[in-house]
């Protein structure tokens, strides 16, 4: 099945016009915490620190410590024992999900570090230009040396025939 993107975009534009939306209405960047202007730059140290925190807290303890007066503690313990059979599977599922998510984030971190440690396109283009210049220079010098060698060989050959 082939998608016609222009037809889809025309439908979207028609719907926008039909509903009367304008550019001054709420956009994604107006929503608190969402940045769409590209100002959020990758910071490997910040990413690593956040990832370390996620690795440390990804497991939700089933029996977190309780506090309070002795009567409240007793009531809390009784309630916890009564609902344990119901809560334990949910906590285990949440812990599995958290662990898988953190594993994925660790992989994303390695990929991001790999991508951001690569040279930029401009750096690669500069290296290519430099290598092309060096190749051109070496080719010219090689041609000059070959012609000098040919001349020397012809001089040596002439002297050898004269003797």
* Per-position DSSP letters for 110-134, written without gaps between them: HHHHHHHHSPPHHHHHHHHHHHHHH
- Domain locations along the chain: 61-118
How do residues 125-158 score in pLDDT, each as one tens digit? 999 999 999 999 999 999 999 999 999 999 998 8
Structure-model confidence comparison of residues 86 and 44, the more confident one: 86
Q: What is the pLDDT of residues 13-69, one digit of tens each?
A: 888 888 777 766 655 555 444 454 555 677 778 888 888 888 888 888 878 788 888
Q: Which long-range contacts (CB under 8 A, 24 or more apart) does 88-97 make?
A: 88/62, 91/60, 91/62, 94/60, 95/58, 95/59, 95/60
Averaged pLDDT for residues 68-85: 89
- Give pLDDT, residue 29: 53
């Amino acid at each position: 099945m082939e998608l016609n993107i222009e037809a889809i975009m025309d439908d979207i534009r028609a719907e926008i016009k039909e509903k009367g939306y304008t550019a001054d209405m709420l956009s994604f960047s107006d929503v608190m915490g969402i940045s769409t202007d590209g100002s959020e730059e990758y910071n490997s140290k910040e990413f690593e620190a956040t990832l370390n925190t996620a690795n440390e807290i990804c497991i939700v303890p089933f029996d977190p410590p309780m506090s309070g007066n002795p009567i409240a503690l007793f009531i809390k313990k009784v309630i916890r024992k009564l609902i344990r059979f119901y809560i334990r599977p949910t906590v285990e599922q949440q812990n599995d999900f958290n662990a898988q998510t953190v594993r994925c984030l660790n992989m994303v971190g390695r990929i991001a570090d790999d991508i951001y440690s690569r040279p930029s396109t401009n750096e690669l283009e500069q290296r290519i230009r430099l290598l092309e210049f060096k190749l051109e220079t070496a080719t010219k010098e090689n041609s000059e040396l070959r012609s000098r060698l040919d001349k020397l060989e012809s001089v040596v050959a002439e002297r050898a025939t004269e003797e």
